[in-house]
Amino acid sequence: MQKNHYIQLDGVNKSFSKGRESVDILKSFNLSINQGEFVAIMGPSGLGKSTLLHLIGGLDEPCDGTIKIGDVTLSGLSESERTKWRAHHVGFVFQAHHLIPVLTAQKNVELPLILTKLSAKDRQKHGLAALELVDMKERCKHYPSELSGGQEQRVAIARAIVSDPNLLLCDEPTGNLDRKTADDILRLLAELNQQFNKTVIMVTHDPKAAEYATRVIQLEQYLSQNSDNRMADSGYN
Ligand SMILES: Nc1ncnc2c1ncn2[C@@H]1O[C@H](COP(=O)(O)OP(=O)(O)OP(=O)(O)O)[C@@H](O)[C@H]1O
């Protein structure tokens, strides 16, 4: 019997037009990820790592093929359904934290909840709980300019988890940070993965960051395997 994976990409094609040409990024691409995995995606610049992350998170659509997350087939959703699905199921963490400078840490974290039916009081409660999880509650009234790079990234992670999504998609989350701060952030992601069973997919160029993952996909190798690319990922544990 075929196992049901939490994330399943089947025969995904993705190309972009560059001038008059169309450039294939992913061709007949297959990938399966289980709930609770921490997957690192590595590979040379321009290969399609961020594109893959955007497709899984429903920020972009494949030209062909299916992407299923849990029970939901993304291509079956309208644009507004996809936005709603994202708000409930996916948290994004980027290299640049994209915090809004005129809002306090707490208000930044509460922002994704504005789309929900929660009252202001409940939004505040959830926001503070997320900040507590990333050890930033005592700085909830600080503005981004009053925080260090690592603290800003913690607040960005709190914002990503405030709606309690199953899936955390991280694009070079430690790219701007020094080694020690990067390790703190990676430990936090590993904790969210292990203690709260969040599925984490992280794009990184940093082999040390990839050591925190439970599976590493070397995308270049993976892509070169053929359309049935199931073999090239290596376990780290
Ligand atoms: N919206 C877009 N329109 C046109 N081309 C795009 C678009 N997004 C990405 N590309 C192209 O697709 C290719 C893959 O980009 P992507 O950002 O996924 O690579 P990456 O592996 O994440 O690279 P890096 O490690 O440098 O971040 C690149 O050649 C890029 O220029």
CATH code at position 13:
3.40.50.300
Q: So what's the pLDDT on residue 226?
A: 52
- Asked whether the predicted pLDDT for residue 1 surpasses 60, the reply is no
Ligand 1 centre and the CA of 35: distance in Å? 27
Phi first, then psi: what are they for 235, rounded to 5°?
-80, 145
In a domain, 229, yes or no: yes
Query: Which of 27, 50, 170 has most ligand 1 atoms within 8 Å of CB, for mutation?
Result: 50
Q: So what's the pLDDT on residue 110?
A: 96
**CA of residue 176 relative to chain centroid, distance:** 17
Question: Quick one: tokens of 19?
Answer: 């001038």
- Asked whether the predicted pLDDT for residue 237 surpasses 50, the reply is no
In a domain, 104, yes or no: yes
Is 44's C-beta closer than 6 angstroms to any atom of ligand 1?
no
What secondary structure letter does DSSP report for 163?
Answer: T
Of 2-11, 12-21, 49-58, 221-230, give the lowest mean pLDDT range.
Answer: 221-230
**CA of residue 54 relative to chain centroid, distance:** 9
Buried b (16+ CB within 10 A) or exposed e, 104-139: bbbbbbbbbbeeeebeeeebbebbbebbebbebbeb
Is 45's C-beta closer than 6 angstroms to any atom of ligand 1?
yes
Averaged pLDDT score across all residues of the chain? 90
Are the C-beta atoms of 149 and 96 separated by less than 8 Å? no
Shortest-distance Cα residue to atom 17 of ligand 1: 50
Compute the distance between CA of residue 132 and CA of residue 27 in angstroms, rounded to an integer: 42
- Asked whether the predicted pLDDT for residue 227 surpasses 80, the reply is no
In a domain, 146, yes or no: yes
- 193: domain range? 7-235
In a domain, 160, yes or no: yes
Compute the distance between CA of residue 42 and CA of residue 208 in angstroms, rounded to an integer: 11
Minimum-distance ligand 1 atom for the alpha carbon of 17? 4
Is 215's C-beta closer than 6 angstroms to any atom of ligand 1?
no
Ligand 1 centre and the CA of 75: distance in Å? 21
Ligand 1 centre and the CA of 44: distance in Å? 11
Token pair 């990938």 in the structure block, residue: 31
Q: So what's the pLDDT on residue 71?
A: 92
Is 16's C-beta closer than 6 angstroms to any atom of ligand 1?
yes
Compute the distance between CA of residue 85 and CA of residue 136 in angstroms, rounded to an integer: 27
In a domain, 1, yes or no: no
Q: So what's the pLDDT on residue 76?
A: 85
Could you read off the pLDDT of 65-103 as tens digits, one per residue? 999 999 999 988 999 999 989 988 999 999 888 899 999
> Total domain count for the chain?
1
Give one word for 149, left, alpha or beta, with left for phi > 0 and alpha for psi -120 to 50. Answer: alpha
Is 14's C-beta closer than 6 angstroms to any atom of ligand 1?
no
In a domain, 2, yes or no: no
In a domain, 120, yes or no: yes
Shortest-distance Cα residue to atom 24 of ligand 1: 45
Nearest 5 degrees, angle CA 152-CA 199-CA 161? Answer: 35
In a domain, 215, yes or no: yes
